[in-house]
Amino acid sequence: MAALLSIRGLRTWFHTRAGIARAVDDVNLHLQPGETLALAGESGSGKSVTAYSILRLIQPPGRIEAGEIMFNGTNLLTLDDRGIRNVRGNRVAMIFQEPLSAFNPVQKVGAQIVEAIRLHRRVSRRAAYARAVELLAQVGIPSPGARAHEFPHRLSGGMRQRAMIALALACEPDILIADEPTTALDVTTQAQILDLLKSLQARNGMGLLLITHDLGVVAETADRVAVMYAGRVVEEGPVDTLFSRPSHPYTAGLLAAVAIDDVPPGERLPEISGMAPSLLAMPQGCAFAARCPKASAAAGCFTESPVFSSLTLQRHVACFAANPAASPVTVFPRSAMRDDNVRVAA
């Protein structure tokens, strides 16, 4: 099956006075119709910059330096301003990380959805308003007609997130990008939002690109996961396989930092030593080498950058020490991630 979205060799760099920050450096990804692909990793790994690059929302001093972003056979990076506007919010839509800042604070929620519909569809204002109320009802907002007349700040965090989803779905996109859609929400609301996204995806057949640092969200929602570190994808594969047998030491470290209720009180959760390198001063060799328990000078970890290559037909990794027959990780069963009692080490 042909990929709905295919990213090849994407480089998005920020040219600052202190130097060039390589926020996204040679990223390759693909998304199939109806599939959920999660981009996971710690803050600053390049997840959101990758998403913003897809929609060409990178602002100076950022710049897309190289690569292809193919959507239904069209390279989005070659479109003119009018062409990308016809795609953005129409064929490819995004749920932003903070809905309150994404909405216009002086315009009512319903009016903003109406504006999005009429920008891409030839419909009357009355028809667009009826569709806006229908969308608000579809995402589970009570009294949608009344809520359509509210300003964004008058809605709760959960309702704002639902309204943002309604706005993103206004034109029935082929791809929905969700950037940390459950951040700052309580556990119950998080579960409701994730269930909503899954049901809407099943109903509309969308491809979903889910950006998150929460491995529980990945386990609950995604079909495949790509793990990012320091601007690059270091491992990618089906969620069940990658979570049970991680091949990259960084992926294994992330999973080991997750524990369930039977951890003895007061015992520290495992952690990855050290800190991620500065994007302004990337080390020679593998970016993770200084923190990696398997790093070896003999393998070239400190002098050469590992190539992102295939372990199996569905598994890819960038690591000199990658082992396709790695021992199963018993501290992180996927079923446990569906439990509300999961704790992740900060």
Q: What is the 3-state secondary structure (H, E, C) of 87-110?
A: HECCCEEEECCCHHHHCCCCCCHH
The mean pLDDT value for 139-160 works out to 94
Band of the pLDDT at 225, cuts 50, 70, 90? very high
32's enclosing H/E stretch is none
> CATH 3.40.50.300 in the chain, residues?
1-91+173-189+201-346
Residue 341 has pLDDT above 50, yes or no: no
pLDDT tens string 41-62: 999 999 999 999 999 999 999 9
139-152 burial code (b ≥16 CB/10 A, e <16):
bbbeebeebbebeb
Confidence of residue 345 (pLDDT cuts 50, 70, 90): very low
Does residue 69 have a pLDDT over 90?
Answer: yes
Q: Write the pLDDT tens digit of every residue in 81-110.
A: 999 999 999 999 999 888 888 899 999 999
Structural contact between residues 332 and 258, judged by C-beta atoms closer than 8 angstroms: yes
The token pair that represents 153 in the structure block? 């700040």
Residue 317: the pLDDT is: 95
Say what the pLDDT of residue 234 is. 96
What is the model's pLDDT at position 55?
96
Average pLDDT of 252-262? 74
pLDDT of residue 133: 97
CATH for 1-91+173-189+201-346 (3.30.450.40, 3.40.50.300, 3.40.50.720, 3.30.300.30): 3.40.50.300
pLDDT greater at residue 205 or residue 232: 232
pLDDT at 266 over 80: no
pTM given for the model? 0.89
CA gap 71, 49 in Å, rounded: 18
Q: What pLDDT is stored for residue 326 in this prediction?
A: 54
Q: What is the pLDDT of residue 346?
A: 31
The band of 260, judged by pLDDT with boundaries at 50, 70 and 90, is low
pLDDT recorded at residue 193: 86
pLDDT of residue 324: 58
Determine the average pLDDT of the residues in 162-186.
90
344: tokens are 């992740």
Cα(97)–Cα(230) distance, integer angstroms: 20
Q: Average pLDDT, whole number, for the chain?
A: 89
Q: How far apart are CA 273 and CA 251, in angstroms?
A: 14
331 pLDDT above the threshold of 60? no
The CA distances from residue 339 to 45, 61, 197, 198, 334, in Å, are 26, 42, 19, 18, 10
